């Protein structure tokens, strides 16, 4: 009788424990990663891929070994597909991920990719977190597409103000590819320059053109005191800067586009070549709390983090997405996850407090905006990244 | 006027790069009848070979360029001998094989060196200025090497027994073979020469522009365009067309804008092909 009581008690205790704590089941949360992992935009794609793998490792190492979703612990895996920074590449990548039952996608990064992935996301109810700077990066037509921000509508004005004061800018020519990835962002940037009393115009080139000599000649004919490399791919921007300097351009160089300073420095030949340079930086990198991500990455992944600072932003939005999945208690119902996500406060343990933006610019409040950075090189010396809070644009 | 002359100088610089590339591309077609889709891959390999020699072996850059040229040439020789030679008369097969090789080269280079551009700079910096015009010194070096290479190829093809043999094979393989010429010996040599030229271009041009596993794609497209314009298989045509393409690109970009520059080139090629389907210097049909 005593033995029976003991057995019953042990059984009841085990059942109670079973009910109270999540269990390791065969639950697998697959996160798709879509980005240009090769070619001129590889630096951005690799930062995204690195962030996704780090996020998975972080979640898998925490707690009981996975993300708590309802009553289950879900092991997170990532599937990365190279979209080669093209619309058709991103669409093909998304379709491939759909065939593998992927419901959540981090990426893509550039506008042509975003254009390619949105219809697939809409048709298959994929929850996509992408980074494009297009004017229609997100919108009410794509309720499950979120934006890793902030985009230029949020930060361009703040950076132009700092650059104008620092370098006494009076005229600028923006150089960008002649697709939506270039035309959209330059139109937003130009508005910001003009609003600050700076004469601004644009020059476009065919994406994939490795030689800017003729474009440079055209730019210099306008005699600007500043050239903004806008959303040129990192590798291309380095060539553009090098050829500008070879042509005798001594003015300021700017970059109100995706940050690529390391690659520009490498290809162009160092800070002395850039001399006076300003750029949008994804995060205020001087913050030790943000830098801690890099240390943790090294510890967890056993290798150095990807070079591009886009890594940090992807980590921030990835954690937010995981939180929403966990709170919604589902790894299949993306609409439910999106609903939870929209209401989540933005307060990352490393990136700090952010805001939901996008209502006034995109017509939908689905842009995650963390504090950003303003990078400066003055007289060939790299300055500490300035911190900029997200302005109240919405 | 300053802008006009500057655009002309840019066009000549571009033309020199395109000529180096197109020369090898057209040689292969002229002699073997093979459209070498791996040409851009050998350009990439030339760049990485020179970069490796400088960065890892500490070689002086000029020596690295020579090593890169011979290394890519040797690889081309082996590829022709063991792969292309077996199906050399099957245009579709050679097209697929060379395309496959290009993909393998791109993927292989990416696996070894990673997708980002390494730091690979031309050792000579500075810009030559006179009045309102300018030309970077590195472009002058490329132009000089290009002229030497064109001269060497002309000498080889028109003043040596090897060149005569290659031209005889290009003209009529069956008749040439009855005269004792051996395609299996000469074809790999021609392929090596072509790939060596692509490697030389890659070693010279990538430190001026940028080096990456996929930089061969636009280069291949431009070489293809040049060779079509000049006339497939014509060395003179490829050279003239390369400078023509460079000049048109420079002038159209400077005066019409970056987007319309590319369009102007394709419109020109279309017009030429409508008026003269064999290209500027092409023959109506190959004899091989």
Cα nearest neighbour of B126 on chain A: A246
Of A177-181, A240-244, B128-132, B281-285, which gets the smallest average pLDDT?
Answer: B281-285
A37: nearest CA in chain B?
B115
Q: Say what the pLDDT of residue A206 is.
A: 85
Note whether B7 contacts A: Cβ–Cβ < 8 A.
Answer: yes
pLDDT of residue A3: 52
Cα–Cα distance measured from residue A344 to residue B269, given in angstroms and rounded to the nearest whole number: 57
All residues of chain A having their beta carbon less than 8 Å from the beta carbon of residue B134 are 246-248
Q: Do the beta carbons of residue A206 and residue B258 sit within 8 Å?
A: yes
How close does chain A come to B73, measured CA to CA in Å? 24
The reported pLDDT for the residue numbered B37 is 92
Q: What is the DSSP string of A292-358?
A: HHHHHHHHHHSSPPPSSTHHHHHHHHHHHHHHHHHHHT-SS-HHHHHHHHHH---EETTTEE-EEE-
pLDDT for res A209: 67
A188 pLDDT exceeds 60? Answer: yes
**Residue B109 with chain A: CB contacts under 8 Å:** none
Render pLDDT for B19-34 as a digit per residue (tens, 0 to 9). Answer: 988 988 998 888 888 8
Please give the mean pLDDT across all residues of chain A.
Answer: 90
B129 touches chain A (CB under 8 A): yes
Q: For residue range B65-111, list pLDDT tens digits in order.
A: 999 999 999 999 999 999 999 898 898 999 999 999 999 999 999 99
How many CB atoms are located within 10 Å of the residue B273 CB?
13
CB proximity A211 to B under 8 Å: yes
**Alpha carbon distance A279, A382 (integer Å):** 12
Report whether A185 contacts A259 (CB < 8 A).
no
Give the N- to C-terminal CA distance of chain A in Å, as an integer. 70
For chain B, give the mean pLDDT.
89
CB-nearest partner of A248 from B3, B127, B254: B127
Chain-centroid distance of CA A184 in Å reads 17
Decide if pLDDT at A13 tops 60. Answer: no
Better-predicted residue by pLDDT, A285 or B53: B53
| DSSP structure string for chain B | -HHHHHHHHHHHHHHHHHHHHHHHHHHHHHHH----TTHHHHHHHHHHHHHHHHHTT---HHHHHHHHHHHHHHHHHHHHHHTGGGGTT-HHHHHHHHHHHHHHHHHHHHHHH-SSPP----S---EEEETTEEEEHHHHHHHHHHHHHHHHHHHHHHHSHHHHHHHHHHH-HHHHHHTT--HHHHHHHHHHHHHHHHHHHHHHHTTTS---TTTHHHHHHHHHHHHHHH-TT-HHHHHHHHHHHHHHHHHHHHHH-HHHHHHHHHHHHHHHHHH-TT-SS--SS---
CA distance B206 to B204: 6
pLDDT at A20: 47
Chain B residues within 8 A of A243 when measuring between CB atoms: 136
Radius of gyration of the CA atoms of chain A, in A? 23
B175/A contact by beta carbon, under 8 A = no
Question: What is the percent of chain B where pLDDT is above 70?
Answer: 97
Chain A hits for B13, Cβ within 8 Å: 213
Per-residue H/E/C for A164-219: HHHHCCCEEEEEEECCHHHHHHHHHHHHHHHHCCCEEEEEEECCCCCCCHHHHHHH
**A210 to B115: CB separation less than 8 angstroms, yes or no:** no
Tell me if residue A75 falls in helix, strand or coil.
strand
For the segment A59-72, the average pLDDT, to the nearest whole number, is 87
pLDDT of B288 higher than 50: no
Q: What local confidence, expressed as pLDDT, does residue B287 receive?
A: 43
ipTM of the prediction: 0.83
- Position A383 scores a pLDDT of 96
Structural contact between residues A177 and A204, judged by C-beta atoms closer than 8 angstroms: yes
Select the residue from B210, B216, B248 to test the A interface by mutation, using most A Cβ atoms within 10 A.
Answer: B210
Q: What pLDDT score was predicted for residue B171?
A: 82
All residues of chain A having their beta carbon less than 8 Å from the beta carbon of residue B14 are 211, 213-214
Q: CB of B132 within 8 Å of any CB in chain A?
A: no
Contact A39/B115, CB-based, under 8 Å? yes
pLDDT at position B283 is 66
pLDDT tens string A332-386: 999 999 999 999 999 999 999 999 999 999 999 999 999 999 999 999 999 999 9
pLDDT for res A65: 83
pLDDT, tens digit (0-9, with 9 covering 90-100), for A118-150:
999 999 999 999 999 999 999 999 999 999 989
pLDDT band at A179 (very low <50, low <70, confident <90, very high): confident
Instruction: Write down the pLDDT at residue A7.
Output: 52
Position A10 confidence tier, pLDDT thresholds 50, 70, 90: low
């Amino acid at each position: 009788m005593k033995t029976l009581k003991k057995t019953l008690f042990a059984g009841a205790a085990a059942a109670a424990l079973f009910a109270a704590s999540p269990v390791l089941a065969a639950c697998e949360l697959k996160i798709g990663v879509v980005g240009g992992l090769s070619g001129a935009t590889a630096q951005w794609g690799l930062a995204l891929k690195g962030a996704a793998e780090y996020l998975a490792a972080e979640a898998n190492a925490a707690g009981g070994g996975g993300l708590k979703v309802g009553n289950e612990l879900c092991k997170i895996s990532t599937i990365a597909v190279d979209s080669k920074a093209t619309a058709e590449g991103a669409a093909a990548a998304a379709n491939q991920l759909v065939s593998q039952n992927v419901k959540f996608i981090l990426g893509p990064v550039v506008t042509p990719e975003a254009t390619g992935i949105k219809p697939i996301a809409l048709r298959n109810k994929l929850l996509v977190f992408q980074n494009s700077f297009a004017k229609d990066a997100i919108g009410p037509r794509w309720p499950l597409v979120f934006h890793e921000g902030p985009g230029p509508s949020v930060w361009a004005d703040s950076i132009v103000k700092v650059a104008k004061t620092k370098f006494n800018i009076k005229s600028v020519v923006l150089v960008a590819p002649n697709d939506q990835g270039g035309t959209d962002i330059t139109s937003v940037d130009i508005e910001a320059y003009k609003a600050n009393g700076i004469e601004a115009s644009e020059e476009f080139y065919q994406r994939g053109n490795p030689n800017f000599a003729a474009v440079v000649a055209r730019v210099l004919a306008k005699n600007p005191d500043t050239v903004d490399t806008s959303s040129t791919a990192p590798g291309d921007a380095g060539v553009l800067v090098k050829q500008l300097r070879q042509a005798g351009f001594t003015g300021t160089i700017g970059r109100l586009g995706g940050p690529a300073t390391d690659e520009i420095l490498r290809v162009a030949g160092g800070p002395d070549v850039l001399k006076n340079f300003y750029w949008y930086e994804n995060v205020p990198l001087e913050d030790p709390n943000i830098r801690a991500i890099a240390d943790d990455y090294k510890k967890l992944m056993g290798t150095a983090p990807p070079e591009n600072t886009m890594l940090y932003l992807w980590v921030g939005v990835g954690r937010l997405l995981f939180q929403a999945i966990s709170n919604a208690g589902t790894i299949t119902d993306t609409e439910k996850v999106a609903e939870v996500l929209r209401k989540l406060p933005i307060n990352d343990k490393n990136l700090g407090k952010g805001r939901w933006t996008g209502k006034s610019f995109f017509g939908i409040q689905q842009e995650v905006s963390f504090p950003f950075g303003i990078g400066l090189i003055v007289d060939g010396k790299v300055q500490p990244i300035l911190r900029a809070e997200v302005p109240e644009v919405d | 006027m300053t802008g006009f002359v500057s655009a002309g100088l840019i066009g000549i610089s571009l033309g020199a790069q395109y000529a180096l590339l197109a020369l090898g591309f057209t040689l292969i077609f002229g002699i073997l009848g093979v459209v070498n889709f791996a040409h851009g891959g050998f350009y990439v390999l030339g760049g990485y070979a020179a970069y490796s020699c400088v960065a890892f072996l500490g070689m002086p850059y000029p020596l690295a360029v020579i090593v890169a040229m011979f290394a890519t040439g040797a690889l081309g020789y082996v590829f022709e001998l063991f792969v292309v030679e077996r199906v050399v008369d099957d245009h579709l097969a050679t097209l697929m094989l060379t395309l496959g090789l290009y993909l393998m080269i791109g993927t292989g280079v990416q696996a070894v060196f990673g997708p980002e551009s390494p730091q690979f700079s031309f050792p000579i910096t500075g810009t030559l200025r006179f009045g309102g015009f300018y030309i970077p010194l590195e472009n002058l070096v490329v132009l000089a090497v290009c002229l030497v290479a064109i001269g060497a190829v002309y000498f080889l093809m028109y003043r040596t027994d090897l060149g005569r043999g290659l031209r005889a094979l290009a003209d009529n393989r069956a008749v040439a073979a009855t005269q004792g010429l051996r395609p299996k010996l000469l074809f790999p040599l021609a392929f090596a020469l072509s790939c060596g030229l692509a490697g030389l271009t890659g070693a010279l041009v990538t430190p001026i522009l940028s080096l990456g596993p996929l930089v061969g794609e636009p280069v291949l497209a431009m070489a293809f365009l040049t060779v079509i314009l000049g006339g497939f298989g014509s060395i003179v045509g490829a050279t003239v067309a390369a400078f023509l393409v460079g000049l048109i690109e420079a002038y159209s970009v400077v005066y019409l804008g970056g987007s319309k520059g590319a369009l102007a080139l394709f419109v020109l090629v279309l017009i030429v092909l409508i008026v003269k389907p064999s290209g500027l210097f092409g023959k109506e049909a190959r004899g091989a």
